A and B are shown apart, each in its own frame.
Chain A
Amino acid sequence: MLLSIVILIPLLGAWLPTALSRALGVDPARTAAALAATSLALILSQAPDVLAGATLVSGWSWIPTAGLNATFRLDGFGLLFALLILGIGLLVILYARYYLSPEESKERFYGLLLLFMGAMLGVVLAENLLLLVTFWELTSLSSFLLIGFWRHDADARRGARLALMVTGAGGLALLAGVLLIGHVVGSFELSRVLAAGPVIKAHPLYETMLVLVLLGAFTKSAQFPFHFWLPHAMAAPTPVSAYLHSATMVKAGIFLLGRLFPAFAGTETWFYIVSGVGLTTQLFAAYVALFRHDLKGLLAYSTVSHLGLITLLFGFGTPAGAVAAVFHTINHAVFKASLFMAAGIVDHETGTRDMRRLSGLARFMPWTAALATIAAGAMAGVPLLNGFLSKEMFFAETLQVQWLGSRYWVLPLAATLASVFTVAYSTRFVHDVFFGPPPQGLARVPHEPPRWMKVPVEILVGLCLLVGLLPALIVDPLLRAAGGAVLQGPLPEYSLALWHGFNLPVLMSGVALTGGAIIYFARRYYFGLHGYRQQRYDGRTLAEGLVALAVAGSRRLVDGVANASLQRYVLLLLLATLGVGLVGARGLSLAPIAALTPPDALAVALTAALAIAAIAATALHTQRLLALVLIGVVGLVVSLVFVRFSAPDLALTQLLVEIVTVLLLLLALYFMPAESPRESSRFRRVRDTMVAVAVGLGAGLLAWALLTRPFSTIAWYYLEHAKPQGGGYNVVNVILVDFRGFDTLGEITVLGIAAVAILALLQELRLVAPQRDWDGRPWAVERHPLMLRVLARPLLPLALLVSVYLFLRGHNAPGGGFIAGLVTGTAILLQYVAYGSDWARERLPWNYSTAIALGLLLATATGLASWAFGAPFLTSTFGYLHWPVVGEFELASAMVFDLGIYVVVVGVVMVIVGRLGALSGSGGRGT
């Protein structure tokens, strides 16, 4: 419970900086700091137990069938990361307060930072692996927003996109890996997974799982060849970089390696992949870092290199290697955060991060220079600083590796070489910026930054010194707890002493320090050479090229298939239907098996009328008005067919829909030519006719086959249960509002959406109305004929009466909310036609789009109300009342639902027709 609160405070509190700043004027930095400090205090309250070796697991089951539980875990390793995330997070919050300029949105910055902080805490405190992956994706998303914080800057946007692409893709691989782990282990809970190491390693899917999980870890922690996103993420504000590079984001990948260490590590595959990648990354990035001219660029590649070192240590698969990795993780977080902040101060005070332009700043900001020098010393592994200790442990470990046999010397040599470069770029960072002659051509004279901007750096550098001088006192308890949690077993022998006597690691350190210094001071001989090559090898070009290729390919595919031609869509759809139908109908015999109802004269006459009218409407479709009249005939005949086959509800609905449809189409026809030109070629017309005839024949044969075969329906069920369970005799209505009420709710929602979409599409659309009719005659002068007006007015109360009647009896006899709504809508529309929309709107001043919303709310509320009685959504009930005069009367809760339908239908009809009717604008046309 407590752990979930720790995560939820920053996650759900992300909106608080904005809200409090707007409402009460509270400094967003203070809000963010208060939230982070609360989480930190909660974590610290658990620290004593965890440092004593306890593992706290808590939570509740969420979707147990999917293995997804909201379970959280706090052990030494999680504690270490939680402390880093919250501790450095607090310092970043403080630092950013002075870094961001007043015109930048601090509310947004702190909100995003808190979101990211919460996501990171979720990753390190999750017990369930699926939960971990979820938070993992959340870190990708929130870091995307943070990196792209300066959204006006194209580089920031590209960097953010690149980061999201790489880490997001890695997250997908991780998800696949985690699903496989769950499949193999039978659980997603870390406690079970970590204990199942032997099972996982012996499983035939081990390599697959390993590669998938490592893809996730390597993309996140910017390992070669996925490292390229990290330097481009430099486009973020410096506090964000400091945070992403030290305690979070890239460290999530490291965290994953450590977390799953007991489950995966120690095999030959693990060693070759993990240390191979780690070593390559460390060497390559340390070399590249030396040739970066941008301060943050240098630090970015340095981060990549140090992450490579940590990965390499995990790759050894030995307990001592893992402990050294954890130790270096701590140290790197501390000195890298301070270095980024120092770089940010330099940028802030001078306006540039280019080391070719910076020089001799120590005389302007001596205190910052001292801090940066110490931090860079820690990065280089200078004795008495924290980086030295973990570097020593690293060197010692490279000497212990068993896997390489007689080529054991490769690793120590490569490690020393990488450290030489590390020392060289650390020296460059300090010497280029702070020493040498005074800078030339800076925009302003630099000076020390505000007091509180330096405090976070001071704290971090102080930690570098304290850990370096008194390691056993300061860091040993935490390291022991974290190391134990990573190993899930006994800790190896190790000592944090400063001096172990003169041995090989010390010699390697000495070589690195001397070599690095030599390389840096000999730089003039080859710097120019490498200056040219800087931009050539860039993963970004490749990644963005891939994206551009994918986009172009997708576009070509979409353009090829979906070219916005309705004719083509219909053709493809019909051909596909025909093909599927032909395949499915193989071997279907058309001989009738069941007896058919003998045709009577009425049925034959109706069918013939229907067919002739439909064919005529199709053939004459270019004469629009005529086609419309024919469609009116078709609709009328269809209603009669419904009557003939005993479906009075359908007949009523069809009649009303027909009337409204004619009105709708006429409103649109007004703006169109009376005849549509023939646009298709003769070949196309013949082809389309053939396809249409074939599909029509197929559909007819299918209907024939279905009707002549014995089949059973579930109609009997509804007929049997409508009265006892739904309380109504009208089965159709009971199905609509009760048995399938949820479907109906969905349907009226879609109806409402369609109306709103029409409203939005036709917004602001004004069409030019034709001045004359299709034969060139002027329009009649009389706008609102007297006869029509006299007739329309008394019709409205009559129609409302009929609506009420149809509505009330709907449960037991043909009628109901839908039909009643159409009657009301049609009657109101007639007022619009007879008197004009201005007149009608004045007298019926309702907002019909609000009516749609109200109707939907009413229907939904009816459904929700059943929850209050402990019944499932949309359960209905009914009872009988005795009213005076009327007599026995039924009341069902479904009637309220039906009322919702009624209101929605009236609203939809009025919104659509009203909107279409207003296209020409009121009064915009002369008489």
Chain B
Amino acid sequence: MNIELLYILILVIPLLTAASVLICRKNPNIRESVTLIGGISLFFVVVKLALDYDFEQTVTLTLIEPFAGLSLALRLEPLGLIFTLVAGFLWPVTSLYSIGYMRSHHEKNQTRFYTAFAISIFATMAIAISANLLTLFIAYELLTLFTLPLVTHAGTEAARRAGWTYLGILMTTSIGFLLLAIIWTYSLTGTLEFTPGGILDGKAEPAILGALLLLFVFGTGKAALMPFHRWLPAAMVAPTPVSSLLHAVAVVKAGVFTIMKVSVYIFGIDLISSLDTAYWLSLLAGFTILSASIIAMSKDNLKARLAYSTISQLSYIILAAMLGVATGVYAGSLHIIMHAFAKITLFFCAGAILVSAHKSRVSELNGIGRAMPLTMLAFLLASLSIVGLPPLGGSWSKWLLLQATMEVHNMVLLIVLLVSSFLNLFYLVEIPIRGFFAKPIDPNYNNGIKEAPIFSLIAILITTTGCLTLFFLVNPAWNLVEKILR
């Protein structure tokens, strides 16, 4: 099939899904089947694209050219393919999960939920296959706007306030810093195309390039680098499927994806390695990793704990991108995949616990393993993947990342990463241990097995299997990652 058509399909399928959801709003069964069908067909298109695409001959599709020389255009490269594959696979899985979750939770406004969800996926896909910074920026802003109704879904005062924090931080950083950086780049180089090797080398003083890098990294608020991380815990008021797919995968990965793209295709890793700013940013990422982990330990609310864990994990990828070595880029890209599978599993479990046991605090989970053994087992495996232990996918990216810090002889960051792994072990693995070994805190836990609704359970099993499979079958991912710098 021709590649341009596939690009179009990738964008159109989520939009069509959104439209069909609106049309079928009267009948929940059809509405949710439509979401599922949309998700599955999107996944097939993405896979088809992955099989057909030849990175030696990239294909660019220009949609429209609003400014002379600046266009909205699509082009796939290896990093983008990784992101589309991850999001394209996890969307149908999350849809499956949502059906179980939203129904047993009796959420209101489900049509708005599914519509905004599908449009957010559209924006995510557009980010992943954007050919230049302008296209990426537009999609990035759309993603913020269409996830907002999902964050404020509950409609309570707390949700409204969270919505303001969400919008405020993401919009301020993106319009204030990211847009400025983009326009500045354009005025320095006259182009915004993602080009292998970068476009900025030699275009300005190192001091200016350093400032630009700062603007890019802080401007990408979705990557949740401290001090612009507050929006992510705030977004946890959303229903759990949103936290799982959007705030553990699509939105936050769009952030680190942007940073990776900018460092590989706008700056170029050689230029990054020569900038002092990149070094300081990698230290800041290290600081974020540790402090977010420590905050996570202090959180009793399960979703808040997972949110801080996400902040910490995102900074792994920022750190990787700022090292300016090939191994770092590989490590960061692999971590996008590994963390996506592990973290979505954790959130799925958190939602399952909320739906079937009505618990949202870590301290209330003692002994819950008796009632929800499968969920707790999934939680354990995903936690171990985040810690980076074999035989789980996360061990590969952790390994590469450690190797990359050694390549640049940065012992501080090496130690940060090791300490962080221990912290992960404490605050994540603690939960299944409580679940399996502690004395049940709620007498209901002894009343036999009561897992989440079947749809949700299947989704959990799929992603957990993913975490395991990625350890043994990492080769396809590795082949893709290796092509990024070629």
Whether both chains belong to one complex is answered with no
Q: Which residues of B contact A (CB under 8 A)?
A: none
